[in-house]
Amino acid sequence: MNRFILYTIFFHLLAITALSQDCTDYHQYHCTYADYTYFYSQQSKSLLLPPGQKSEMNIIVYAGEEYYIALCAHQKLGNVQFRILEDSPKRTEIYDNAKDNYSPSISFANQRTRKLIIEITTPSGKPGDKNKYCAGVLVEFKKKS
């Protein structure tokens, strides 16, 4: 009887592990990098998201640097929207890829040090879809030339 319980627990844990998805470093292997002049930023992040969810991440951009931000997501998520917002009470929108044909990346020069919010919104999936999929945000920078 004890052996039966042990096997049952083992196979349930095995099934749970097999169904879960590891998104660690997804951004490093799936996002498109800028050219070799940019440096990788530790502010880059990978996420596990279900369809129809909004998520935010905070970054700091420094004066006198150029930034490249790329979004990548599992194809089952469809067109994922990302917006860059000023981290202030007004939350002024700086960029929205939905207004740019869902472009997966943007480059920009930064004049002053400031906090930004990257807001990621996944489109609604099929009704009853409880799956979660990997997404990543790659942040790179270089000194402004």
Tell me the C-alpha distance between 97 and 118, whole Å.
11
- List the CATH number of the domain containing 96: 2.60.120.380
Structural domain count, the chain: 1
pTM, full prediction: 0.81
- 89 inside domain: yes
* pLDDT for position 9: 57
In a domain, 5, yes or no: no
Domain presence at residue 16: no
Can you give the residue range of the structural domain that contains 122?
Answer: 22-143
- pLDDT for position 115: 97
Question: Do the domain assignments include residue 3?
Answer: no
Is the residue at 102 inside a domain? yes
Average pLDDT of adjacent 10-residue blocks, the chain of 145 residues: 55 46 90 95 95 94 97 93 96 96 95 96 80 95 89
Residue 92 within any structural domain of the chain: yes
Q: 123 lies in a domain? A: yes
Q: Which residues contact 40 (CB under 8 A, 6 or more apart)?
A: 138, 140
What confidence score (pLDDT) does residue 55 get? 95
Question: What torsion do the CA atoms of 23, 91, 85, 102 make, to the nearest 10 degrees?
Answer: 90
Task: Flag whether 28 is in a domain.
Answer: yes
